[in-house]
Amino acid sequence: MLVRTVLIGVLALSAANAQPPGPARGHGRFGGASGPILDGGARFLGAEPGRPGRVVRNAPYSGDVVTETTQLLADGNRIRQLSTVHVARDSEGRTRSEQTLRNLGGLAPNANLPQVVFINDPVAKVNYALNSTAHTAAKSAWNPSSPPARPTMRRPPSDAAPNNSAADLRQTPTANPNLKTESLGRQTIEGVAADGTRITQTIPAGEIGNEQPIQIVSETWYSPDLQTVLLAKRSDPRSGETTTRLTNVNRAEPAHALFEVPADYKVTETAGRFGRPPGQ
């Protein structure tokens, strides 16, 4: 009897462990080269659609989102980086963004990752992440919920984290007397009318050890017609300037094929965002 019981236990344990294992670490859905990661580089493991944003219908357009960052170093040197994302939206609210991951901000400035395309289709209620190099696509169901919890490393203490101007600007004017918001009126950018807003945050002298007050200025031009930002500038003397501009704006209906997965792509259906393909 004891033997039988133990056997049952072992079998049960085996059954519990017989579930498909989680995805292999180190090489994601799109695979990746092995070997060491070069300084400032990154190894691509996979891409997946995240949370779809607000669905905007009846305002189609296509264009290029060009972001330029300029950082002035203490020795007078400058670091200038440019990135371009091709974007499109059709009348039914489908969106497509196509970009080459040349850098991941300060995280991996020399990433040079593959080109990826993200498609959000609120009509079919699906999202895709396409790897243009491997001709593969990860498909997941439309789901605007939160990212899944993952076992992550403990966050560093807040006083160890770097200054983050964007985080500073999160505070509302009422919560922070050093925030000033002003309207810049309306102007036409790329043939589209846009309303401007400027937010100026002042870090008083001495607050972070600064001898003089520091001003962080964020300027945004938003198009009510396209319901998107046409131009955004941010200037922070601690980090430099960033300008994001929507250029080559074309308000014609984009080709429907842009929102479909090319026929020669291998589509892998994921169990959910950040999930793994069933059966793998």
139 binds other proteins per the rule CB under 8 A: no
Stretch that binds other proteins, among 48-56, 174-182, 247-255, 258-266 (CB under 8 A): 48-56
Number of residues that bind other proteins (CB under 8 A): 102
- Tell me which DSSP letter residue 143 carries: -
Query: Per-residue string for binding with other proteins, 88-117, x by CB under 8 A?
Result: -------x-x-x-x-xxxxxx--x-x--x-
- Cα 130 to Cα 30, 70, 214, distances in angstroms: 10, 30, 42
With tokens 């014609």, the residue in question is 252
For the segment 153-212, give every residue that binds other proteins (CB under 8 A): 153, 155-157, 160-167, 169-170
Rounded Cα distance between 155 and 5, Å, is 45
Does the protein bind other proteins through residue 47 (CB under 8 A)? yes
Nearer to other proteins, 167 or 205 (CB): 167
Identity of the residue, 55 or 193, whose beta carbon is nearer to other proteins in the bound complex: 55
Q: Is 256 helix (H, G, I), strand (E, B) or coil?
A: helix
> Does 44 sit near other proteins (CB under 8 A)?
yes
CA distance 65 to 279: 38
Is residue 55 part of the contact set for other proteins (CB under 8 A)?
Answer: yes
In the range 206-265, which residues lie near other proteins by CB under 8 A? 232, 234, 236, 239-240, 242, 244
Q: Counting contacts by CB under 8 A, is residue 42 touching other proteins?
A: yes
Tell me how far apart the alpha carbons of residues 61 and 87 are, in angstroms, rounded to a whole number: 8
Supply 20's token pair: 């498909």
Going from the C-alpha of 114 to that of each of 29, 120, 172, the distances in angstroms are 13, 19, 38
> Of these, 75, 76, 148, 175, which contacts other proteins (CB under 8 A)?
148
